[in-house]
A = this chain, B = another copy of it.
Amino acid sequence: MGNRSLLIDAASAELSEHGLDVSIARIAARAGVAKGTVFNHFSSKEELISAIFCDQLDTLAATGETLLEHTDPRAALLQFMSAGAELQANDRAFCEAAAATSRAHPAIRAASDRLAQVAEALTARARQAGVVRADVTGHDIVLLLNAPTRIAAPLAGARSDLWRRYLHLIFDALRPEAGHELPVAAPTNADFTTAATR
């Protein structure tokens, strides 16, 4: 096993436990290499984090693609959102990265687009089945994925399952019966592009 894999493994573990602020020194020590070696494989700390973050986005997108086979469109969408929120509940860095990471990085853009596409497919099925309000889009769902863990974050130490409460509260907001007209239009692909190039 090469040092690159050792670094990815060490970084995944440290990031998951301690969040994005974990030091390069700690990651290098856990991988059993010198600090400088990290920059032999990744041009910056951000690049190392991006590599791991992309893998996690791809895993979630794959989960979503599997759920497209599910016969119940409403259950499929709920399970997709549940999977996204749970990944973040179990991984501090994933939760922080989902909120903070810009889409400027090309690899993150690609993974993010793949995720947006599967989210839109799942949402479209649920919309057609009449179980989700007509004005909610796949982009909305992607942005909503990290809401439950962030809402519950201040109490994560005391109530580790609290994010499930807010996942279901938000899911209730998606029901057709819930719908007042929303005051601002859904985000578009162009919005993501603009935000990425700032």
Contacts and interface: CB of A to CB of B under 8 A. Distances in A.
B151 A144 contact: yes
A197 to B, nearest CB: 9
Given A147-B151, A168-B183, A183-B168, A158 B99 contact: no
A186 B152 CA distance: 11
A72 B178 CA distance: 20
Contacts of A42: none
Contacts of A154: 99, 101-103, 143, 192, 195
Q: How many copies does the complex hold?
A: 2
A184 B162 contact: yes
A100 B99 CA distance: 12
Interface in A145-198: 146-147, 150-159, 161-162, 164-166, 168-173, 175, 177-180, 182-187, 190-192, 194-195, 198
Given A147-B151, A151-B147, A165 B180 contact: no
A118 to B, nearest CB: 18
Contacts of A161: 184
**Chain B CB within 10 Å — which of A136, A140, A143 has the most?**
A143
A146 B157 CA distance: 19
A130 to B, nearest CB: 16
Nearest to A195: B158
A88 to B, nearest CB: 12
A180 B172 contact: yes
